[in-house]
Amino acid sequence: MENKRAQLQSNGYVILRQVVAPEQLDQLRSDIETVVKGQRVSDPAWDTTSQPRASIVNHVNVDTLGAFEFVLHKHTYGVSARLLDRPQNAVAATSAEVLCNPEFTPDNPQRPGQGWGTDPRNWHRDVRPDRDGPLDALLEDQIANGPGYLQWNIALYEDSILYVVPGSHRRLTTQAEASHLLCDQVRLTPVPESQCVELEPGDGVIYNNMILHWGSKYSPQKKRRTIHLGYRSFGRIFPHQSQNYLPVGFWNRFAEGTPERCVTERWFELFRSEFRTIEGIFRAALASDGERFFAGITRLHPPSKGLLACLILLSKIALALEERRCQLGDDRVGADAVQSVCEWQLRELTLHFSDEELDQLRQRFGPVDEALQIGLHRHVAGFIGPTTNYEFEKIPKGITMEGMCEEILGRQRKPGGPNFPDNFA
């Protein structure tokens, strides 16, 4: 496993054979087929999307629970924890889907950077500068501390759709890659030096989703049922893919008292506890309490290197609360319909603060956010998401940890001030 972790760190992906044991393949295929049927019934537009995917947790039932149990298996969850280099009780699943083939031949994807975002059938990294901050900050964090999130594709039928550029998760996009991605004729062809990930039934690839990758040819010719999972660690870094997309109550799929229930309840608790830490950080910022602020940050992201990414991601959450408040309108106690854990968390966080406090949070985190905008709406090749005026790649000059913390804490800039711990400089 050491060897695999080293491979993941240097190449950005590792292929593992027989993640699904051959004797379990038929049963898993059948359980997953039921999930896909459930998704199809619940979503009438499903068969018109060029990249259809189904949610495992939303569509398992007592007979097909094996599909969810697989997300807790030692070959998936266990391996993820070992590759993340964290104990299993500090790792949780964040998403569980099945990638499927469309039943029709889709048109070529639109160019990247549309108003609504970027079709993942274009070459991309799963990084959105408007939500995640500039790539450089994320790279610095992960190179120093290792990834905090890993993604899987586990093929139930032969699958060679995913391409990756080995090593690109450790660097910015090169000039040669960028011009390849921008050129219309070759935009839909492999980037030089890329690799096709060839999976036999039961094989899986685990990858750092900052890697430059491509969901190449979605077509009806070949059946695709590829399990797509995400796992993240807690207490090492605060990854850009920190959200939990599983529906609230996912643990209820398992009967009380079962080991699976215990594990899934712990997953939720990891998120809940992190959410309390984030609330504490925001309260400390409002109170200009440097000590509590830095203690909270250290809980979220113990290593001192790579903290800039963590602060940027926190500023995104602080500003999202405002947006959320507008959506909630006057009905601040009304409950939403089925929601993901991340939706629930954002809503709860909004409800925990008064309007005045949300305004003040916006004032504190606003300057950090403004410093990340360059006043030019555009899209840079290789990123997911829409056009935006946020910086895509480089951390803008003049942004420092110290300066950011002082804005957030609402104090005058005093280098080396009493509440600014040395390891944050």
Which parts of this chain interact with ligand AKG (CB under 6 A)? 99, 120, 126, 153, 161-162, 213, 215
- Given ligand AKG, Fe ion, none, residue 187, with its beta carbon under 5 to 8 Å by kind, binds none
User: From ligand AKG, Fe ion, none, which one binds at residue 161 (CB under 5 to 8 Å depending on kind)?
Assistant: ligand AKG
Nearer to ligand AKG, 55 or 153 (CB): 153
Q: How far is the CB of 215 from ligand AKG (least distance, A)?
A: 3
CB of 206 to ligand AKG, least distance (A): 13
Least distance to ligand AKG, CB of residue 179, Å: 21
How far apart are the C-alpha atoms of 246 and 253, rounded to whole Å?
Answer: 12
Q: Which is nearer to ligand AKG, 126 or 136 (CB)?
A: 126
Nearer of residues 52 and 133 to ligand AKG, judged by Cβ:
52
> Of 399, 370, 386, nearest to 128 (Cα)?
386
The helix (H) or strand (E) run that includes residue 364 is helix 355-371
Nearest to 28 by CA among 3, 65, 79: 65
> Which two three-digit tokens encode residue 197?
């990930």
Question: Are the CB atoms for 60 and 32 separated by under 8 Å?
Answer: no
Give the span between the Cα atoms of 312 and 250, in whole angstroms.
29
Binding partner of 162, given ligand AKG, Fe ion, none, CB within 5-8 angstroms per partner class = ligand AKG
Q: Which partner from the list Fe ion, ligand AKG, none does 165 bind, CB cut-off 5 to 8 Å by kind?
A: none
Query: Are the C-beta atoms of residues 228 and 98 closer than 8 Å to each other?
Result: yes
- Binding-site partner at residue 153 among ligand AKG, Fe ion, none, CB < 5 to 8 Å by type: ligand AKG
Minimum distance from residue 2 beta carbon to ligand AKG (Å): 27
Closest separation between CB of residue 185 and ligand AKG, Å? 22
Widest CA span in the chain:
65
Region label for 244, one of left (φ > 0), alpha (ψ between -120 and 50) or beta (otherwise) = beta
Could you tell me the smallest distance in angstroms from the CB atom of residue 162 to ligand AKG?
4
202 vs 382 by CB, closer to Fe ion: 382
Query: Regarding beta strands 388-390 and 162-164, do their DSSP bridges make them parallel or antiparallel, or are they unpaired?
Result: unpaired
Q: Which is nearer to Fe ion, 126 or 343 (CB)?
A: 126
- Look at residues 375, 372, 359 and name the one whose alpha carbon lies nearest to residue 410: 359
Q: Is the CB of 120 or the CB of 190 nearer to Fe ion? A: 120
Rounded least distance, CB 319 to ligand AKG, Å? 24
Q: Which residues bind Fe ion (CB under 5 A)?
A: 120, 126
Nearer to ligand AKG, 207 or 250 (CB): 207
One-letter amino acid of 244: N
CA torsion, points 330, 332, 333, 335, in degrees to nearest 10? Answer: 90
